[in-house]
Amino acid sequence: MARHRFHGDSTRFQAIADYIAERYWHDVRYIADVAGGQGMLARILSKQYNYECEVIDPRAWVLKGVKHQAGAFDPAFSTYYDLIVGLHPDGALREVAQAALLRPTVLVPCCNFWLPEKLGQIELLRAIEQYYDQHGVGYERVTFAFKGPKNIGLVSAPPQAAPATFDSSS
């Protein structure tokens, strides 16, 4: 495979793919890589682990052979997938968290697109955890095996209650 240039620790894609394969293995098949940029994570998940993975990102430039939808992610459609992944999802942060009300998610935030006020990494994680607590989402905080500081995420399972509705203000 050719070398590709990425911002941050390029081992993050393999680390997240390995984590997903170890944790979910055959329990999931269809994966959404939200705001997945060029699609390196989707490529690894598809080629190395045989998952059906597609990038959903308004930036329509992905690596050759990577399935993608050029557009914003809508959490209402997350039920099509078995797993939603947001590895540094930037502006799609809230939508990935909302998808956790319907599907398992792996969310590794990098930037505060949660609240207008400035939040550090731990405060941002706490704010998302509070949202999960308010909506009955089960989760655990995980430190992933790549260089930080943006290597801490939330792995979640949806509540067992009725289907969720989304309020953009919460």
| Tally of domains within the chain | 1
- What the block records as the tokens of 2 is 């050719």
Is the pLDDT assigned to residue 163 strictly greater than 70?
no
- Specify the higher pLDDT residue, 110 or 104: 104
Structure confidence at residue 162 (pLDDT):
46
Report residue 109 CA to chain centroid gap: 8
What is the percent of the chain with per-residue pLDDT over 70, rounded to a whole number?
Answer: 89
Mean pLDDT for 126-151 is 94
Residue with tokens 């997938």: 81
Structure confidence at residue 20 (pLDDT):
98
Q: Is residue 99 part of a domain?
A: yes
- Specify the higher pLDDT residue, 147 or 32: 32
Q: Is residue 41 part of a domain?
A: yes
Q: Is residue 3 part of a domain?
A: no
Q: Is residue 7 part of a domain?
A: no
Closest by CA to 95, choosing from 6, 34, 144, 24, is 34
Q: Is residue 167 part of a domain?
A: no
CATH code (residue 62): 3.40.50.150
Q: Is residue 1 part of a domain?
A: no
Is the pLDDT assigned to residue 166 strictly greater than 80?
no
Q: Is residue 6 part of a domain?
A: no
Q: Is residue 4 part of a domain?
A: no
- What the block records as the tokens of 15 is 């680390």
Taking the C-alpha atoms of residue 4 and residue 7, their distance in angstroms, rounded to an integer, is 10
Q: Which positions ≥6 away from 15 have C-beta within 8 Å?
A: 144, 145, 146
Q: Which domain holds residue 102?
A: 12-157
Taking the C-alpha atoms of residue 91 and residue 103, their distance in angstroms, rounded to an integer, is 19
